[in-house]
Structure formats: structure tokens, C-alpha cells
Structure 1
Amino acid sequence: MTSSAAAGYELPLLLFGGFRAIIDELHGELARRGHQDLRPAHGFAMQAIGFRGATASEVGRRLGISKQAAGKTIERLEALGYAQRAGDSADRRRKLTRLTPRGVAALTLSAEIFGDIRDRWARTLGDDRVADLEASLRTMVPGETFRLDVPGWFGAS
């Protein structure tokens, strides 16, 4: 088997392995900095809620999961102090989930840690190689570079 044939099945595994290594490192550092209760699915859910807030239906749609599953995730984020639900002042029929100051702080810290991880990769691999990798992935990744529906996409149908 040639090395190019091996790369065919290896490429998605290496990309996923890199993603997993980054996410695992992020959550290890979050735990060390006081957010030991956060899990990767929580991060996706907080991104889906965003800084403007979202309903459970909107969170579910953004994550590619059911409204009920989104509701359970939101309940967990509420119990952990990262989100809270309240009525929407623009539409009283809607229940809007918003990030608490703790939730915003966790997302802000996550962005800082991602920057630290990228810097370490650049020190290890070289700035040019990391920049080339990012540019190559931007070329190959269609449309949006960040889709929130990873949890739903990995789920069984």
C-alpha cells in the first residue's frame, strides 16, 4: 500500500485526533482554572446559546439535536451556574436562555486557552507550518468553518 493510499483513511482520523487533543487539553486547563464541571458538549451548547441568548428550540436546531435534548443540556448548564432561563422581553411566549456571568467567563477563558494551545503548536511545529495548515483547512472546509451540530452529527439516527 502506498503512502497516499494510507493517507486516504488516515487523514480524517488525524484531523479528528488533532481536534480531540485540543479539546481534551482545553478541558484539562478549564478544570485547573475552576471549571472542572464543564464537558465538551456544554461548550457547544454555550456557543449555540451565544451572547444574545436562544430558546431551547434554537439551541437544538444549532446543535442538530432535539428540543428535548437541548432542554436537558440547558437544565444542566443552569444547575452548574453557566446559563439561566427567563422570559423574552420582546415575546412573552418565548423562554430565552442566556449565559450567566460564569458562562461568559468560561467562554472567554476558553478563547484564551485556545490561543495558548495554538501558540504551543506554533512553537512546536513552527509558525509557518501552523499558518499553512490553517490556510489549507480554510480552503478545503466548505462554507462555514465552525458548525455547532457536531454533537447531533455524531449521534445515532
Structure 2
Amino acid sequence: MDFGVLLGQAYQAFVQELHTHLAEHGHRVLGASYGYVLRTLAENALTASQLGERLGITAQGAAKIVDEMVRHGYVERRPDPEDKRAKLLHLSDHGRDMLNTVRQFHAEYEKTLTARTGKEHIETVRAVLTEIINTPTDSGTERPFRPL
């Protein structure tokens, strides 16, 4: 199997298990961007425009994701105390619970995989994936990844 296909299928398998785990814990995931939004808003409250900038997407794209996450109870809009016209986005209790559930899943997934394959294999996989991420493109430009 081609290396890229293998990486893609491994990621898809991981995401499928994560979504199953989230559903079992009462969380609904409709978009791939939820995780990025949860992690970004866990650091501090932002406006939709600021969130879009941080995620490398348009303000309209961020607003669409946020609207969905507000509808499902993961994010709350609150008045900005410094600018009454603006709304700050905060994680709701449900959103914080989802983020904690995701973080627990990540830790358990790696622990289980380590038990099945051995610590040295996981360390090697981490090293290889880190190398892929940190290696500039052939043109010498850095890869534009969303911040986590």
C-alpha cells in the first residue's frame, strides 16, 4: 500500500474510533473543525474573526462552524466587556466536557496502541510523523498547519 494511503487510512480509522467514543459519551460531531475550535477557545475567548484568523479560515467560515457549535451547545456567545458591539466565544460546560473526553480518548488510544506494539514503536511513529510535519516543502516553504 502506498505510504500516503496508509497514513490517510490510519487517520480515518482513528477518527472513526474517536467519533464512536464521543457518541458513546453524549457528544455529536458534525464537522472536522470542532477539535480545532475547542482547543483554540480553551486557551482564551475570541471573536469569530479572531478565531478565523487563528485557524487560517475566513471569518464567514468561522462563523458557520461557530453557529453550528452554538446550536449544539458546545460554544457560547457572550458580550465583550471591552467592546459592547462584539461577542466573545467561550466554551460551554458541554464544550469543555467534549474537549476533556477527546483528550482522554487520545491518551487511552496511545496507551492501548503502546501495549499492543511496544513503546519503541510508538516513539518511532511519533518521530516519523514529527519529521513529516516539520520538514519544509520542496519549494522551501513551511507547511500551513492549523495551530493546536
Contact (CA 8 Å) 1:51, 1:99: kept in 2 or not?
no
Structure 1 portions without partners, runs of 5+:
1-5, 150-157
Matches within 5 A, 1:1-157: 10-35=2-27, 37-39=28-30, 40-142=32-134, 147-148=145-146
What is the letter of the counterpart of residue 59 of structure 1?
L
**Closer, same or farther: CA 70–113 of 1 in aligned 2, 3 Å:** same
Normalised to the residue count of structure 2, the TM-score between the two structures is 0.81
Contact (CA 8 Å) 1:48, 1:148: kept in 2 or not?
no
Instruction: Report what 2:138 is aligned to.
Output: none
SS of the residue aligned with 1:131? helix
Deviation by residue 1:115-136 (Cα, 9 ceiling, x = unmatched): 1111121122222101111122
Higher helix share: 1
Normalised to the residue count of structure 1, the TM-score between the two structures is 0.77
**Closer, same or farther: CA 145–81 of 1 in aligned 2, 3 Å:** farther
Between the two proteins, the alignment pairs up a number of residues equal to: 140
Deviation by residue 1:18-67 (Cα, 9 ceiling, x = unmatched): 222112111110101111x2233322222233331111112222333221
What value does the CA root-mean-square deviation take over the aligned residues?
A: 2.4
What is the letter of the counterpart of residue 112 of structure 2?
R
State how far apart, in whole Å, the 2-side matches of 1:117 and 1:38 are: 19
State how far apart, in whole Å, the 2-side matches of 1:122 and 1:64 are: 33
Which range is displaced more, 116-125 or 41-50?
41-50
Q: CA deviation at 1:102?
A: 0.9
Instruction: Report what 1:3 is aligned to.
Output: none
Q: CA deviation at 1:145?
A: 10
State how far apart, in whole Å, the 2-side matches of 1:96 and 1:146 are: 26
Structure 2 portions without partners, runs of 5+:
136-141
State how far apart, in whole Å, the 1-side matches of 2:97 and 2:73 are: 11
Which range is displaced more, 53-62 or 140-149?
140-149
